[in-house]
Structure 1
Amino acid sequence: MSHDGVVARSRHPQRSVMRSVAFLTAGVLAVPLLAGCDSEDKAGKPLAGQDIAPVARGLVADGGTLKWAVDAVPATLNTFQADADAGTTRVAQAVLPSMFRLDATGRTVANPAYLESAKVIETEPRQVVLYKLNQQAVWSDGREIGAADFAAQWRALSGRNSAYWTARNAGYDRIEKIERGANDLQVRVTFSRPYADWRSLFSPLYPKDVMGTPDAFNDGARRKLTVTAGPFKVDKVDTAAKDVVLTRNPRWWGRPAKLNEIVLHAVPHDQRAVALADGSVDLADVDPADAERIGLAARGTANPLQGSGRTSVTKLRSWALAHGVGSDQARAGQTTLRRAITRYLDEQQQLRGVEVRKSLEPAYTQLALNGSEGPLADERVRRAVARALDRKELARLVLTPLGLPAVPVGSHLALAGQPAYADSSDAVGDQDPKGAQALLAEAGWVPGGPVKEEKKGEKAAGSEGDRAGKKGQEEKEDKSDGGDDGAYIVGEDDKSGDGTSGDDKSGGRDDGGDRHIAQEGKHGGVPGAYAPKGTAAPAAAPAGLLAKDGKALALRFVLPSGAGSETLNSVAERISAMLERLGIRTTITKVSDESYFKDHIASGDYDLALYSWPSSAFPATDDRPVYAKPVPAADGSVNVEQNYTRVGTDQVDQLFDQAMATLDEDEEVSLIRKADARIWAAGGSIPLYQRPQLVGVRKNLVNAGAFGFQTPVYEDMGFLKKGARISPSPTK
């Protein structure tokens, strides 16, 4: 749910952007749990602020090139296509109009560079929104931004013309017509049905040159944008050099960009510390292990090759492994090992010019419970799992070592500081092992029950490979490198299109491997965090094994195995231990990053899984597909949209529909909070913690870093003037 994008039907990359079970059991939805909005401000404040080294523009030097690491060169520059990613979003933010953007609290604010005002001027017989555009706003070809561009985008995204290969049309399908207002700078948008989230539309806005024909939409904007309207323009997309080069837009009417160029350069996560050291990039999201390495460089790194006497190879190897020099190099011969250590120490010296800026991402990590089959199809078992978890402990495990607020997330639909936020976790109950055991007993799972011996050729429930053959292949290596908190933010970059609908938002923040937001954050693992595939998690003071009808209560916990998955592994191990205490056996199965989301999460081949969702400023629109009740299709399949836990209710769907249709903002917030309480009670997913945001940054780079909720202000980024100083960040 990040405003820059996340997986499933990926939510909209610049905003934040759906389950199949019986109705909730009696008594779960008591009135106090569904009170919704009242005079008390439940939204609170963001748990962490920005960390971008903010300075006045007068202290920023004119000129220079910012080299910004991205995961890959974008496959398309059209954010409305299914394979758009976080890089697509970065380009769009810098070169295209957005009528609204997000502030530091994750709330939408009008963008004065493009809008003088935008408001609902009529509600009967139809909702009408009047946009008054900035008089200076023009496209890079000199043409005024106007109604023709709005109309072309509406026609392309309305869903009425299947020749347009769109990934989403939410909101645009409610527009009845678009007209010129009293003059060329006014645009009247008339809706056929009331639409609460009208501010989500036309951000970004593409020129009619892109939206005017299916060919231009489908192919023309994939590798180039010849007409733009931002502080920067697209100069070139160089796949060979793995670069997207943005240069100053000479027709930009706002405050001129400080930088001459922004180069988005593709760098794998496990190579970013080296890239920061050698100057290949100036700004890069980093894993906790690399963040620790940068901090170590600032304090000075001891040189094991110096000193009296000759250091043994064993000691050098131990030092190299402890400092992340690289397992292959650390285990090599003495000459190769010494060269690797020398190279590492040189990089450490160069990293002294880099610092880590940190905040919390506008995304959260959740435990997903597949309710489509098996023990978790019973709501009582899902709620028992929820009550077994100490979410505060899990948040501390991930965030405390990073110096970030370790507060569990209390809502599926918003994060602290956003208007719709309220902690509704009491709808499923606090950690309560006895209450969890009572729910399991009610569902028929009892300690010490007889378990049928498996017949020859059969696999025990929860054993290695159980149901693993459905799709994908398990990772054969027993180790993972890096420290990503499951780089699975749904929607952040998984654009496979599986299980998506026409309303799917593209650009979901990173979806590759543990980087799908469905992407998990990046955190360093703890010793012993990794369990080889098929290994049952250790238990602390386990209860008697629970069984029913001759079968043990065993759940398959599927995780990615690639670089950066240590944090997810650590969290999964801790969850497994908590469940073991109740007598629930879990088996951790590790699969390749490439198959994790597509072949397991989206296809429903898991019992438990960890991945992330970005938060949205428009939860009524963007989150409905994530929690919608799955619907049988004509061909016998089930359309789950983005509801990968397959748990949903009619009541939740109705509350989303009502929230989307009201123009009363307080009523919309109340309805969203009621929907969240019901989602909690259904127990299909359990929000755990907000993802950490760690950014390695050249020390003299200002107005850039860990942006948190806020949309970056590209024209203010740059390098500090010589002699100027940066005030200490309040987060440090």
Structure 2
Amino acid sequence: MRSKVLVVVVALAVAACGGPAGNDSGLKGANQTLGQADVNPRDPAEVADGGNFTWPIDNMADTWNYWHLNGTPADGSRILRTFMPNLVVQNADATISLNKDYLESAELTSSEPQVIELKINPKARWSDGRQIDWTDFESMWKALNATNKAYQTNTKTGYEDISKVERGATDQDVKVTFRKRFAEWRSLFSPLFPKSVFDSPEEFNTGWVDAPKITAGPFKLGSIDRTAKIVTVVRDPAWWGERPKLDSITFRQVDRAAQADAFANGQIDWYDIGASVDSYRKAKSTPGAVIRQAVSPDYMHVTFNGAESSILKDPKLRVALMRGIDTKAITRAVIGQMLKSDAQVIGNRFFMLGSKQYQDNSAVAAFDREAARGKLEELGWKLDGEFRKKDGRELAVRLVIPLPNAVSTDIAKLIQSQLREIGVKIDIQHVPLADFFEDFVNVGNFDAAIFRWLSTATPVSSAAGIYTLTEGAVGQNYGRVGSAEINDLLQRANSELDDTRRFALANEADKKVWELGSQLPLYQLPGAVAVRDTVANFGAPAYANNPFDYIHMGFVKK
């Protein structure tokens, strides 16, 4: 399943402007049924043995250490999950199953104190021949629990609550004792990395930048060609589990704007339609293509920078800007033409549209141009010509987006136009995609930034690192916005074993995040992909994307 942090996905699709299509042949919007995948499910006997599947990616991995600050972008995560241990599997309906290839059992054996006991599959081995054992878990916990700040980790959630990791009856028995209860404990240690990664901060931070050193999965690394921007994984003959159907998977970097044509030309085997009307239309007209759709647990948003160095350090100013942005108009312009029904904005960061826990908490920052103008005046930002100034400083916000990036460019221009109407200047800065996260988002080099968050089956713990504010550590709180109250709500939620109470606390935390103006959610993606009609067990997986079904995916027998 997805680990503690949300995976970042860059939006790189062509957007179109205009209202909802009202088109019977269009995609479903927020009226989709949750928990249903659309993947052309086939019995393994119907899937051909062999073949190569070409998978488009937006960018090469900045590091192959998922747990490093730069390790969370989706493309790198999806590649490494073909060859690293995913201890649990996230299902289409957002439930979690144990991955028996790695763990024979995982049980909560005590609540006070909380103790979990894991039994590792004795067949599970690292590529250097060593059995996976309890010391891998211990080393990982020590690196991620935030006691040594030299480890540049992207999360501490859950690991900071553990008091000790011990050997059980054998080296393949792991006993984890918590000093504070952690409800979503099944999300821990996945993907698992070998203890050598955690030997030192230097090894953790830089040792896996160029390539993974040790693996343990159904595939292994075949090659990395940074010039051609291609990564190939091949079947690992040492794999102890069910044999994958495919011989290999080739991950090839292709600009989003070019993916529909690359697919039509046979250069890739699928692509994410995302928010691109153009890509949607091309998929409909491409011979041998099928559009598959399922609820997508990811959404587009704007992150605001609240650090002391940012012009947006005042939460009241951030909320005023949010009130000047018409998210409904943006959502209609970007995805409305593809949908049968009216496009809906999202008003929650922890729970997706359609889920039982979802509630719209956005009232405090709801679009109201006059209220936005009034608040700016109250804060001392007075109109001076077209834009506002305070103490001689112009209210100019640097909005950073990656290039090439048609969707984010269109969103940025809409925001620029909308905020101009309340006297706020938006300076759009395009930066190379390869540098967007590592040199800008991750290090807080922006006033505002546009990208996507991918949610998980453990929504509270996986989002905690984004909204928790920790002195001396960023995690994934790229905007450096938070409060002791939000920290407390999230800590209480993560330690609450009762689902109803845990989700209620998460919604309370979401309300506080709205009040601080750290992020502005825009829309939830329709979850549509274009894929060859000959492909089996792959398509729109709903929540079953962590990992994808790399074992059974392949091509239907002719």
- Answering whether residue 420 of structure 2 is matched by residue 584 of structure 1, we say no
- The residue correspondences of 1:176-575 to structure 2 (distance < 5 A) are 176-183=163-170, 185-208=172-195, 228-239=215-226, 242-285=229-272, 288=276, 291-292=279-280, 294-295=282-283, 297-298=285-286, 352-359=287-294, 361-371=296-306, 379-403=315-339, 406-416=343-353, 421-426=358-363, 428=364, 430-436=366-372, 439-440=375-376, 442-443=378-379, 451=384, 554-556=395-397, 558-560=399-401, 562-565=403-406, 567-575=407-415
Equivalent residue for 2:551, pick from 715, 718, 728: 715
Cα displacement (A) at 1:121: 1.3
- Answering whether residue 545 of structure 2 is matched by residue 610 of structure 1, we say no
> Does the aligned pair in 2 maintain the 1:419–1:669 contact within 8 Å?
no
Cα displacement (A) at 1:689: 0.7
Q: Which whole-Å CA distance do the structure 1 matches of 2:279 and 2:553 have between them?
A: 22
- Answering whether residue 106 of structure 2 is matched by residue 118 of structure 1, we say yes
Q: Which residue of 2 aligns with 1:321?
A: none
Deviations 1:351-374 (A, max 9, x none): x23444445643222234445589
Cα displacement (A) at 1:682: 2.4
Bigger shift: residues 185-194 or 552-561: 552-561
Cα displacement (A) at 1:666: 3.2
Q: Give the length in aligned residue pairs.
A: 531
In structure 1, what residue type is equivalent to 2:299? Answer: Y
Equivalent residue for 1:623, pick from 463, 487, 495: 463
In structure 1, what residue type is equivalent to 2:190? Answer: S
Q: Which residue of 2 aligns with 1:684?
A: 518
Q: Which whole-Å CA distance do the structure 1 matches of 2:469 and 2:172 have between them?
A: 42
Q: Which whole-Å CA distance do the structure 1 matches of 2:474 and 2:236 have between them?
A: 43
> Does the aligned pair in 2 maintain the 1:66–1:718 contact within 8 Å?
yes
- Answering whether residue 30 of structure 2 is matched by residue 95 of structure 1, we say no
> Does the aligned pair in 1 maintain the 2:157–2:465 contact within 8 Å?
no
Cα displacement (A) at 1:571: 2.7
296 and 188 in structure 1: CA distance in 2 versus 1, 3 angstrom threshold: closer
Q: Secondary structure at the match of 2:482?
A: coil
Q: Which whole-Å CA distance do the structure 1 matches of 2:374 and 2:356 have between them?
A: 36
436 and 713 in structure 1: CA distance in 2 versus 1, 3 angstrom threshold: same
Q: Secondary structure at the match of 2:551?
A: helix
Q: Secondary structure at the match of 2:82?
A: helix
> Does the aligned pair in 2 maintain the 1:3–1:14 contact within 8 Å?
no
In structure 1, what residue type is equivalent to 2:339? Answer: G
Question: Percent same amino acid among aligned pairs?
Answer: 33
Cα displacement (A) at 1:718: 0.4
Equivalent residue for 2:54, pick from 64, 67, 75: 67
In structure 1, what residue type is equivalent to 2:262? Answer: A
70 and 604 in structure 1: CA distance in 2 versus 1, 3 angstrom threshold: closer
Deviations 1:653-706 (A, max 9, x none): 221222233344433222211111111122332211123555442321122233
97 and 605 in structure 1: CA distance in 2 versus 1, 3 angstrom threshold: closer
With structure 2 as the length reference, what TM-score do the two structures score? 0.79
In structure 2, what residue type is equivalent to 1:244? Answer: V
Query: Root-mean-square deviation (CA), in Å?
Result: 4.1
Q: Which residue of 2 aligns with 1:305?
A: none
Q: Which whole-Å CA distance do the structure 1 matches of 2:192 and 2:46 have between them?
A: 32
432 and 441 in structure 1: CA distance in 2 versus 1, 3 angstrom threshold: same
Q: Which whole-Å CA distance do the structure 1 matches of 2:146 and 2:380 have between them?
A: 48
591 and 268 in structure 1: CA distance in 2 versus 1, 3 angstrom threshold: closer
404 and 158 in structure 1: CA distance in 2 versus 1, 3 angstrom threshold: farther
Q: Which whole-Å CA distance do the structure 1 matches of 2:130 and 2:444 have between them?
A: 49
In structure 2, what residue type is equivalent to 1:677? Answer: K
Q: Which whole-Å CA distance do the structure 2 matches of 1:154 and 1:630 have between them?
A: 18
Bigger shift: residues 97-106 or 280-289: 280-289
**Unpaired segments ≥5 residues, structure 1:** 6-10, 16-42, 299-351, 452-459, 463-546, 634-638, 723-732
Q: Which residue of 2 aligns with 1:79?
A: 66
> Does the aligned pair in 1 maintain the 2:70–2:437 contact within 8 Å?
no
Q: Which whole-Å CA distance do the structure 2 matches of 1:248 and 1:672 have between them?
A: 41
In structure 1, what residue type is equivalent to 2:97? Answer: V
Q: Which residue of 2 aligns with 1:649?
A: 483
Q: Secondary structure at the match of 1:592?
A: strand
> Does the aligned pair in 2 maintain the 1:555–1:607 contact within 8 Å?
no
Q: Which residue of 2 aligns with 1:593?
A: 432
- The residue correspondences of 1:20-35 to structure 2 (distance < 5 A) are none
In structure 2, what residue type is equivalent to 1:52? Answer: V
111 and 275 in structure 1: CA distance in 2 versus 1, 3 angstrom threshold: same
598 and 186 in structure 1: CA distance in 2 versus 1, 3 angstrom threshold: closer
- Answering whether residue 92 of structure 2 is matched by residue 108 of structure 1, we say no
In structure 1, what residue type is equivalent to 2:344? Answer: V
Cα displacement (A) at 1:395: 1.9
Q: Which whole-Å CA distance do the structure 2 matches of 1:200 and 1:397 have between them?
A: 36
Query: Of the two, which has the highest radius of gyration?
Result: 1
Q: Which residue of 2 aligns with 1:331?
A: none
Q: Which whole-Å CA distance do the structure 2 matches of 1:276 and 1:74 have between them?
A: 22
Q: Which whole-Å CA distance do the structure 1 matches of 2:154 and 2:323 have between them?
A: 37
In structure 1, what residue type is equivalent to 2:52? Answer: T
Deviations 1:515-559 (A, max 9, x none): xxxxxxxxxxxxxxxxxxxxxxxxxxxxxxxx6779798543624
Q: Secondary structure at the match of 1:716?
A: coil
Q: Which residue of 2 aligns with 1:730?
A: none
Q: Which residue of 2 aligns with 1:311?
A: none
628 and 218 in structure 1: CA distance in 2 versus 1, 3 angstrom threshold: closer
Q: Which whole-Å CA distance do the structure 1 matches of 2:200 and 2:480 have between them?
A: 37
Q: Secondary structure at the match of 2:81?
A: helix
**Unpaired segments ≥5 residues, structure 2:** 10-29
> Does the aligned pair in 1 maintain the 2:87–2:189 contact within 8 Å?
yes
With structure 1 as the length reference, what TM-score do the two structures score? 0.62
Bigger shift: residues 554-563 or 251-260: 554-563
Cα displacement (A) at 1:713: 0.9
> Does the aligned pair in 1 maintain the 2:3–2:188 contact within 8 Å?
no
